[in-house]
């Protein structure tokens, strides 16, 4: 099968965020297909697994290049490798966790980061009762050490799991230290300057959006 992965005329910056957000789902599905011994997959098969139309699959991929021939499907290993390159998943990213309460401890103990190229290398807290403790093999450090650790360990991403009232100041501090990507678990949307990426994870909002549909039956 001949594949054409020539870059499209659109620039990476043209890709909508909703498309970028779907790419990790493509990677996960393609990795499972590869494990199962599948070498070629069609847009119909990918669409069925993602619950989107085949046309949407083709449109999503068109932002980043051409990855197959019509009627022949996509080479699973080729497409998987290219999407990993696009997402930067062929590199290893050092990550810090700020806030080592119950949620922070759960994040630090989660084993799923390393296989996907993310290394939790530092943990920070402001509580004297928490600083100095060892959690998941890391010694919790005082927040005052943040600047030095970000520089010395080349930390690129921070996961914030602090109380709502401290979220904005923590994110501001991280940005000052050079962090450009923040995964935020607090139920607040911190304000950041252009060029800083923040992803907010709030399970309550997700639950509320689901009850919209459930309430139709009440």
Confidence tier at 206 by pLDDT (50, 70, 90): confident
168: pLDDT strictly greater than 90: yes
Say if residue 73 is in the same domain as residue 129: no
Q: What is the pLDDT of residue 143?
A: 95
Q: How many residues does the chain have?
A: 218
Rounded Cα–Cα distance for residues 45 and 37 (Å): 15
Q: What strands lie across the sheet with 197-200, from one edge to the other?
A: 141-142, 118-125, 93-98, 155-160, 181-184, 197-200
pLDDT confidence bin for 53, thresholds 50/70/90? very high
210 assigned to some structural domain: no
In a domain, 218, yes or no: no
Give the pLDDT score at 2.
33
Higher-pLDDT residue of 215 and 151 is 151
Q: Is residue 56 part of a domain?
A: yes
This prediction has a pTM of 0.87
- Give the pLDDT band (50/70/90) at residue 218: low
| Domain of residue 16, CATH code | 1.10.10.10
User: What gap in Å lies between CA 107 and CA 104, rounded to an integer?
Assistant: 5
Instruction: State the average pLDDT over residues 29-39.
Output: 96
**Average pLDDT, integer, range 36-62:** 94
Do residue 97 and residue 201 come from a single domain?
yes
Cα–Cα dist 44/40, whole Å? 12
Phi and psi at 164, nearest 5°, equal -50, -45
Given 87, 122, 138, the domain boundary residue is 87
Q: Are the C-beta atoms of residues 98 and 160 closer than 8 Å to each other?
A: yes
Share of the chain above pLDDT 90, in %: 78
Range of the domain at 45: 12-87
Higher-pLDDT residue of 102 and 115 is 102
């Amino acid at each position: 099968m001949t594949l054409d992965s020539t870059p499209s005329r659109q620039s990476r910056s043209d890709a909508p965020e909703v498309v970028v957000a779907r790419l990790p789902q493509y990677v996960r599905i393609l990795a499972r297909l590869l494990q199962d011994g599948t070498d070629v997959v069609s847009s119909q098969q990918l669409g069925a697994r993602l619950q989107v139309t085949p046309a949407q699959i083709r449109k999503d991929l068109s932002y980043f290049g051409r990855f197959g021939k019509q009627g022949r499907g996509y080479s699973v290993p080729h497409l998987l490798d290219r999407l990993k390159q696009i997402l930067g998943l062929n590199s290893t990213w050092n990550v810090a966790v700020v806030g080592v309460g119950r949620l922070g401890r759960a994040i630090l103990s989660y084993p799923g980061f390393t296989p996907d190229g993310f290394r939790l290398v530092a943990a920070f807290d402001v509580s004297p009762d928490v600083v100095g403790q060892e959690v998941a093999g890391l010694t919790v450090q005082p927040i005052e050490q943040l600047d030095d650790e970000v520089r010395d360990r080349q930390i690129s991403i921070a996961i914030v799991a602090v109380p709502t009232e401290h979220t904005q100041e923590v994110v501001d501090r991280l940005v000052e230290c050079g962090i450009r990507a923040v995964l935020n678990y607090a139920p607040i949307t911190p304000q950041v300057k252009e060029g800083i990426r923040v992803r907010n994870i709030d399970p309550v909002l997700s639950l509320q959006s689901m009850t919209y549909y459930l309430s139709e039956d009440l």
